[in-house]
């Protein structure tokens, strides 16, 4: 049976329980440590540049419209925050891709109760690196032209007011693609077939992507919620695919 749109929080909550279980912690701790280092470095850099980025993107207004600055400034703070969030998420998922693929496999084993995947070994993990990184590059090639279009839109005075909500909608869709792709890739589903399937499950996918997007915006908590999102996406895959 197709899950309702609002099942996203349920998938994420169940995913969090799974990654905290003893049998799956091994596949969480190492990428968690790597992402913690990456997160601290990016926050340090963004903290020194944030105000500069906001000021650069803010449109120049004539003096008689200066009152709009107080309305537009929070909007552009959100816009820069979304850009920083996207950068961290993209880099973190590239680094953690092999671990996330393995984590997705093991979550599926727990959920289905049958193990059709190779047993864990460091050699098997290394063998997954080329495939998973190739898939991450495919996501990047999907993301970058659309992100570039939104970035250009954000530079056009007046029109750039709609950039933040469009970034938000695009971000929700990308979160669904990012995490549901792990179990899809484990089952050798092609990129185009995976996108087609997600479009068929559009509202369920957006519901899951929305809750993932929301929790990943919370500093520090987002580090733990990344593996939870992988596990939740695997649950989504298993239950929606039947």
Is residue 70 predicted with pLDDT exceeding 80?
no
Note the pLDDT tens digit of each residue in 124-161: 667 777 888 888 889 989 988 998 888 888 777 777 77
The DSSP secondary-structure symbol of 56 reads: H
Q: Find the angle CA(45)-CA(48)-CA(50) to the nearest 5 degrees.
A: 95
Q: Find the angle CA(114)-CA(3)-CA(200) to the nearest 5 degrees.
A: 95
Reported residue count of the chain is: 242
Mean pLDDT of 212-234: 86
The pLDDT of residue 100:
86
Helices 202-216 and 191-200: crossing angle in degrees, nearest 10, is: 100
What is the phi/psi pair of residue 156, to 5°?
-90, 120
Contact, 234 vs 15, CB < 8 A?
A: yes
Note the pLDDT tens digit of each residue in 196-212: 999 999 999 999 999 99
Q: How far apart are CA 86 and CA 59, in angstroms?
A: 22
Note the pLDDT tens digit of each residue in 99-111: 888 888 889 988 8
Mean pLDDT of 49-63: 56
Query: If DSSP states are collapsed to H, E and C, what string results for 76-124?
Result: HHHHHHHHHHHHHHHHHHHHHHHHHHHHHHHHHHHHHCCCCCCCCCHHH
Is residue 1 predicted with pLDDT exceeding 50?
no
Tokens, residue 127: 């063998």
Q: How far apart are CA 177 and CA 172, in angstroms?
A: 9
Q: How far apart are CA 186 and CA 242, in angstroms?
A: 16
Q: How many CB atoms within 10 Å of residue 102?
A: 23
Which residue would you say has higher pLDDT here, 195 or 66?
195
In the structure, what pLDDT confidence band is assigned to residue 179 with cuts at 50, 70 and 90? very high
Tell me the C-alpha to C-alpha distance, in Å, between residue 83 and each of 47, 55, 144, 238. Answer: 13, 15, 12, 32
What's the pTM value of the predicted model, to 2 decimals? 0.74
Which residue would you say has higher pLDDT here, 222 or 19?
19
Mean pLDDT of 216-235: 85
Is residue 11 predicted with pLDDT exceeding 90?
yes
User: If you average pLDDT over every residue of the chain, what do you get?
Assistant: 79
Residues of the chain above pLDDT 90, percent: 26
Mean pLDDT of 112-119: 69
């Amino acid at each position: 049976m197709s899950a309702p749109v609002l099942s996203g929080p349920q998938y994420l909550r169940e995913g969090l329980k799974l990654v905290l279980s003893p049998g799956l912690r091994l596949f969480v701790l190492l990428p968690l440590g790597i992402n913690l280092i990456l997160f601290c470095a990016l926050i340090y850099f963004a903290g020194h540049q944030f105000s500069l980025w906001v000021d650069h993107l803010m449109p120049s207004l004539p003096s008689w419209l200066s009152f709009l600055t107080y309305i537009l400034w929070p909007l552009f703070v959100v816009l820069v925050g979304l850009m920083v969030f996207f950068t961290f998420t993209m880099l973190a998922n590239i680094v953690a891709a092999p671990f996330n693929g393995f984590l997705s496999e093991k979550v599926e084993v727990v959920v289905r109760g049958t193990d059709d995947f190779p047993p864990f070994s460091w050699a098997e993990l290394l063998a997954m690196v080329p495939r998973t990184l190739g898939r991450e590059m495919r996501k990047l090639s999907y993301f970058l032209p659309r992100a570039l279009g939104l970035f250009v839109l954000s530079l056009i005075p007046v029109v750039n007011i709609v950039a933040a909500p469009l970034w938000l909608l695009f971000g929700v869709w990308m979160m669904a693609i990012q995490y549901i792709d792990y179990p899809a890739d484990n089952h050798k589903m092609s990129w185009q077939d995976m996108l087609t399937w997600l479009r068929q499950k559009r509202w369920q996918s957006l519901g899951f992507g929305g809750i993932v997007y929301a929790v990943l915006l919370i500093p520090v908590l987002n580090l733990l919620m990344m593996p939870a999102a992988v596990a939740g996406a695997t649950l989504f895959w298993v239950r929606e695919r039947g």
